[in-house]
């Protein structure tokens, strides 16, 4: 489990593959309940990166992302934010979110978003 900070957030979510981010807070009861589910699903998907972001310590990152509730879940694939939602997810739902992200044709996603594979905007040239 990767603990995200100001210094490693961008590098972590920008890497190739699937990166899930659990945005949580110490004062959030639902966050504590979701923690075990998140760990269980992480154990089932060792090829993906599972990270945690403490909104109490790094609220500016959450503000930049437009997050207003915790827990919140972010899913990036190849540096592209594909999923952002608040709430606790059960194991089946979390596995389905991951399965859907794995099945995506990322070339098509990049084309629709106008983003080259290295993250540069296609329309900028």
Burial of 1 from C-beta contacts in 10 A (0-12 / 13-18 / 19+): exposed
Q: Check if 23 is active-site.
A: no
28, 65, 82, 104: the catalytic one is 28
Neighbours of 20 (CB within 10 A): 25
13, 31, 42, 62: the catalytic one is 31
Q: Check if 31 is active-site.
A: yes
Which residues are the active-site residues? 28, 31
């Amino acid at each position: 489990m990767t603990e995200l900070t100001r210094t490693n957030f961008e590098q972590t979510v920008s890497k190739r593959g699937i990166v899930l981010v659990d945005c949580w807070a110490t004062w959030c009861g639902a966050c504590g309940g979701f923690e075990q589910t998140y760990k269980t699903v992480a154990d089932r998907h060792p090829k993906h990166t599972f990270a945690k972001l403490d909104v109490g310590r790094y609220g500016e990152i959450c503000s930049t992302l437009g997050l207003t509730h915790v827990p919140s879940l972010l899913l990036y694939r190849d540096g592209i934010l594909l999923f952002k939602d608040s709430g606790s997810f059960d194991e089946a739902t979390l596995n389905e979110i991951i399965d859907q992200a794995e099945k995506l044709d990322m070339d098509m996603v990049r084309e629709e978003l106008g983003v080259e594979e290295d993250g540069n905007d296609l329309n900028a040239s």
